[in-house]
Structure 1
């Protein structure tokens, strides 16, 4: 099967990374666990726009969770292990593992994370981009 580029306009130069990122997102499959919310927290004159990702991680302790930013992605992992000392008569709550990956836009920064009542909240912010311009000199060659 041949690959048809999605960003094949001659006016879109250097967007290969975005195309690869879109392919990564569409390839990643998830079982829907843990459920999560993404909310926009208001922007003010003194504070940049903030996004908050909240994951329902009931049963996980702080030591069983890991948040890493790698290769332009926010990776949130959780790993529980079975307690071999317990003898269950019925087991309806399984020890689980998960990994959630969120692709970050350029400039997005993780500002902090909180674990409260089984909800893990990760705050992201994007500083206001500075407008930059550059005048290109034109060389005349005869």
Structure 2
């Protein structure tokens, strides 16, 4: 498995500790070549996304969707239907598990199963406290007193 050197990133950024873990897990899942079920990821604007999975033959009851610690997991334990005398069987209908790492503040809004497509809608809602704000320097020439603990020299 290939390794990526992230040391230049860490020299100029703070709080991206999760990045290395995300890259490692993405590379590991790529190596496992999980290609079932097929899926699309759409971006409608900078805050709205949708993941659509092709799940022909599955019902609502067959599919489980969970979010835990920033990971969206879509799975089914439905056993593969081996009945019938197929000359060709190109429509897979077996158990699966797909995982997607969600960025901070990305939340699942809802899910819809229609015409064999499972669509999961997501939105990124950044709290007001995390949005950029303008800091004025010495507003009205007031001297602000630092109320933090004094550091020993």
Please give the TM-score of this superposition, normalised by the length of structure 1: 0.75
Tell which structure's C-alpha radius of gyration is larger. Answer: 2
Write out per-residue CA displacement over residues 91-136 of structure 1, whole angstroms, 9 at most, x where no aligned residue: 7255411111111000000000000010000000011442266999
Question: Partners of 2:50 and 2:39 in 1: how far apart?
Answer: 10
Of 80, 83, 89, the residue aligned with 2:85 is 89
Question: Partners of 1:113 and 1:23 in 2: how far apart?
Answer: 28
User: Gaps (5+ residues) in structure 1?
Assistant: 44-48
Specify the alignment match of 2:35 in structure 1: 32
Specify the alignment match of 2:140 in structure 1: none
**Number of positions where the alignment pairs a residue of Structure 1 with one of Structure 2:** 134
User: Gaps (5+ residues) in structure 2?
Assistant: 136-143
Question: Partners of 2:145 and 2:72 in 1: how far apart?
Answer: 37
Greater helix proportion: 2
Specify the alignment match of 1:19 in structure 2: 20
TM-align CA RMSD: 3.2
Question: Partners of 2:36 and 2:121 in 1: how far apart?
Answer: 20
Question: Partners of 2:70 and 2:7 in 1: how far apart?
Answer: 20
After alignment, is 63-72 or 24-33 more displaced? 24-33
Please give the TM-score of this superposition, normalised by the length of structure 2: 0.71
